[in-house]
Amino acid sequence: MSIVNNDFHKILTERHSVRRFDPSIKISHEEMNEILEETITAPSACNLQAWKFIVVDTKEGREKLHQYFMPFNFPQVDDSSAIVLFFGNTLAYKKYSQLWHTMYEEKKVTKQAMEAALNTFMPLYEKAPQEMLVADSMVDTSLAAMQFMLVAREHGYDTNAMAGYDAKKAAVVMGLDPKQYVPVMAIAIGKHDPKAEPEITTTRYPLSDLVDYE
């Protein structure tokens, strides 16, 4: 594992969005897979894992992103080591029965627990309205996205989460079925360009504006 920083408090509090990347930094697919393996330890509703990742790190891939990203974000698209597209998978429940059978074979759950889970949750998902499947997959995928941004810091990289692209085009341009896959965000990963200006550190609202105790 290529871990360069394992200080949780620093990883969390020193993460900032970086928009100007050093174009000479490459991330191997081996290391990207390590980063994504850690990313998918995130929890998800009913462990449905309703996420899908596309790692764009070729010239051809970046050109596709120019078709639906805002020109404002082209520097990150062009100069980052990779752009990881986070899509929600609204049909993740179709693999769910097989997942529980695997967990049963791995002796993580009893047959009774497996059957209870499948009998409880599968009918809910099979009858669920599309909006619910979209919302659930967006939440799951956002949890994974947050872990990705932190794992990137563990590996010594910076990130910039981007939205605001043309969401209607995102799946189609990337060759995915837009009914099944919902774009949640795109995250550029790489290292801050030492020749660029320092990035803005943003201000948070005071906690007292955001929290109530009951």
Is position 113 an interface residue for a second copy (rule: CB under 8 A)? yes
Distance CA 184, CA 138 (A): 6
Smallest separation, CB 123 to a second copy (Å) = 13
Q: Which of 122, 128, 143, 196 binds a second copy (CB under 8 A)?
A: 143
Name the 3-class secondary structure at 188: strand
Q: Which of 138, 152, 170, 189 binds a second copy (CB under 8 A)?
A: 138
- Find the part of the chain contacting a second copy (CB under 8 A) among 19-27, 73-81, 149-157, 189-197: 149-157
For residue 51, the surrounding DSSP H or E stretch is: strand 51-56
Q: Which of 23, 75, 78, 103 binds a second copy (CB under 8 A)?
A: 103
Q: Which of 2, 8, 168, 177 binds a second copy (CB under 8 A)?
A: 8
Token readout for 115 is: 């059957």
Restricted to residues 65-94, the positions that interact with a second copy (CB under 8 A) are none
Alpha helices per DSSP H over 83-129: 96-105, 111-127
Distance CA 12, CA 95 (A): 33
Distance CA 128, CA 189 (A): 35
Restricted to residues 22-41, the positions that interact with a second copy (CB under 8 A) are 29, 33, 36-38, 40-41
Q: Which of 118, 122, 135, 196 binds a second copy (CB under 8 A)?
A: 135
Smallest separation, CB 202 to a second copy (Å) = 5
**Residue nearer to a second copy on the CB measure, 24 or 33:** 33
Smallest separation, CB 13 to a second copy (Å) = 5
Q: Which residues make Cβ contacts (< 8 Å) with residue 172, sequence separation at least 6?
A: 178
Q: β-pairing, 158-162 with 181-190?
A: antiparallel
Smallest separation, CB 200 to a second copy (Å) = 6
Distance CA 89, CA 181 (A): 5
Is position 177 an interface residue for a second copy (rule: CB under 8 A)? no
